[in-house]
Amino acid sequence: EVQLQASGGGLVQAGGSLRLSCTGSGFAFDDYDIGWVRQAPGKEREGVSWIGQRDVDTFYADSVKGRFTISRDGARNTVYLQMNNLKPEDAAVYYCTADRHSWLGAERFISGAYNFRGQGTQVTVSS
């Protein structure tokens, strides 16, 4: 059973930083692409960032480019999302997603067609 555990959310002032972690279990972590989506009240779900298996490819939404960095540690079955220069509009519940790697790459994630999603972690940014 694929399980994804997101952590690292919290309250931060605008301009501050947080690092989210997504730890996977129950599957061959290195064979899966991992992503982060977020959803704020009254807003559509947004694909924030994605990393392919073995760090080959990454994707960032335009809204976070230059501020967020995604990385993975296969030894810990964990993907990190380093979020710097946070803005109030970054406030949301962040969820990590997983899919077995395919030739579709980030396109499947961007389209919202991911197969697995874990419980979220709340990020609050005060202005």
The predicted structure's pLDDT at residue 122: 98
DSSP character at residue 104? T
Q: What is the pLDDT of residues 62-114, one digit of tens each?
A: 999 999 999 999 999 999 999 999 999 999 999 999 999 988 889 999 999 99
Whole-angstrom Cα distance, residue 63 to residue 72?
21
Q: What is the pLDDT of residues 2-44, one digit of tens each?
A: 999 999 999 999 999 999 999 999 999 999 999 999 999 999 9
Number of H helices, E strands in the chain: 1, 11
Whole-angstrom Cα distance, residue 107 to residue 20?
23
